[in-house]
Amino acid sequence: MAEDIQGKVGFKEFKAITLAFFVAWVIAVIVISALGAQSWVLAPLAGFNFLIHELGHSLGRFSGLNILEALAGTFIELVVVISFCIWLTNQRLAYAHLFSSAWLGYTFIHLGNYMADASAQQLPLYTLGSVKGAITQPIHDWQIIFSDFGLIDKAETIGRTVAVFGVIIAVPLLILGLRLLSVKTASKLTIKS
């Protein structure tokens, strides 16, 4: 039985099926993020981004200035995500373009939704605590940033613009990634009958 299945579904077919599921995941990440919904589909990206974001706050805390602490979370998150996506894409791995488009798009869409919430503060907020380990009341980074710069009344507009930017980044990169994969695999992939 195992020999029959193995004879009909080889490595190339397995790769094609894996690619199809991966593409579906990438599209789901972009759509779910753009709609502002939460889902288990986003968990790997959300968890990693959250840890990097909170690390940024910890580094910014050393400045002693609330505005730099608030800015540091997003700044470090963007630097790490963009750097990793560039590195990953330069490795010329099969799914790098697709993964990078989903991750970069997700990051900007999520950031935009977070920014847009600065006035209303309806999103749940989380924190890893203070440097001394005490649990602190979570604060909204972008409420501090926009308030300090006198932009709190424009928070929703700025946030929605950043979220749209995330979609604008993700969709062309997704199309480019699919195009590169289709050109690369079209000549190699043959389904056995």
Residues 6+ apart with CB under 8 A from 62: none
Length of the chain (residues):
193
User: Sign (positive/negative) of CA torsion 60, 103, 111, 41?
Assistant: negative
Listed residue (15, 39, 21, 19) closest to 29, CA to CA? 39
C-alpha to C-alpha distance for 176 and 181, rounded to whole angstroms: 9
pLDDT of residue 45: 72
Cβ atoms within 10 Å of 102's Cβ, excluding its own: 28
Note the pLDDT of residue 4: 45
* pLDDT computed for residue 185 by the predictor: 55
Asked whether the whole model's pTM tops 0.85, one would answer no
Tens of pLDDT along the chain (193 residues) come to 444 444 454 555 555 556 665 666 666 666 666 666 555 555 677 778 888 888 888 888 888 888 888 899 899 989 998 888 888 777 776 567 677 777 888 889 889 988 999 888 887 777 655 444 444 666 788 988 999 999 999 999 999 999 899 888 887 777 776 676 666 555 454 444 4
Task: Please name which of 20, 191, 170 lies closest in space to residue 95, comparing C-alpha atoms.
Answer: 20
